[in-house]
């Protein structure tokens, strides 16, 4: 059953990763559910990330969705600090890593919730403005 769930989680991570949301966002808590060790989870996440990212990037590039302007500002510090992250991971106890990941996912959830609420409010305002424009256009026609 554990192998079946691992494969299923791989499918979910692939779909989510292909959409650009980061398959690891789902892999980490799902593998925790299966009681894999924290360091094994992180290693599996890193290994699975590479092929998912390359394939998704190629497809997004072909569809004209990739904008490269300013990407160096993200890549250079990310690559450098990934080394720091790997060194820290090797020196930190698994329990501390779990707590750090928990806080990270909690913060991401709160951030997404706040942004979703803002987007709903903005769409509602835009809808009201569009409704007023439509009424004016109908008045002018009639």
Residue-wise pLDDT tens digits, 31-73: 888 888 888 888 888 888 888 888 888 888 899 888 888 888 8
As a residue count, the chain comes to: 142
Residue 114: pLDDT above 90?
yes
More confident residue, 127 or 3: 3
CA distance 27 to 94: 17
Percent of the chain exceeding pLDDT 90 equals: 12
pLDDT attached to residue 31: 84
Contact at 8 Å (CB) between 52 and 14? yes
- Tell me what pLDDT residue 62 has: 92
pLDDT tops 60 at residue 90: yes
């Amino acid at each position: 059953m554990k192998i079946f769930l691992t494969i299923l989680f791989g499918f979910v991570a692939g779909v989510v990763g292909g959409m650009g949301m980061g398959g690891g966002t789902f892999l980490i808590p799902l593998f925790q559910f299966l009681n894999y060790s924290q360091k094994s989870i992180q290693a599996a996440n890193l290994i699975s990330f590479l092929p998912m990212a390359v394939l998704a990037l190629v497809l997004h590039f072909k569809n004209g969705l990739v904008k490269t302007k300013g990407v160096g500002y993200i890549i250079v510090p990310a690559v450098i600090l990934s080394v720091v992250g790997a060194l820290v991971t090797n020196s930190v106890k698994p329990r501390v890593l779990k707590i750090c990941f928990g806080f990270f996912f909690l913060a991401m959830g709160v951030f997404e919730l706040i942004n979703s609420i803002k987007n709903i409010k903005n769409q509602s305002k835009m809808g009201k403005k569009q409704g007023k424009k439509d009424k004016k256009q109908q008045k002018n026609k009639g």
